[in-house]
Amino acid sequence: MNTFTINNVSNNVELGSFFESLLFTANAVLGLSVICIVVSILISYLYAEYFSMQVQISAHMSTIVVAAILKVSYVLRCVAQHGLGQEVR
């Protein structure tokens, strides 16, 4: 019986550290994706006349890809917060 309790506590500690690292990684990716989406929107719309057509096309496509990455990282952040028992916002 004591072995089960020790294993259960060990699993909780491992899950806690997993969720902490997941939260850190999700926050980092979320911040990076916000910066990338702002840059791609600036290149696509506000400063388009300063960039070649190939760069503008790449910026438009990257806006879609980075938006998907942003959404996935936000969901992973919510999962990590829920796993740590924090308020999910």
Quick: pLDDT tens for 40-50. 999 999 999 99
Quick: pLDDT tens for 17-65. 999 999 999 999 999 999 999 999 999 999 999 999 999 999 999 999 9
Q: Tell me, yes or no, whether 55 lies in a domain.
A: yes
Q: Tell me, yes or no, whether 35 lies in a domain.
A: yes
d(CA 54, CA 71): 26
Q: Tell me, yes or no, whether 61 lies in a domain.
A: yes
Domain carrying residue 27: 2-83
Q: Tell me, yes or no, whether 89 lies in a domain.
A: no
| pTM for the full predicted model | 0.80
Number of domains in the chain: 1
The pLDDT assigned to 53 comes to 96
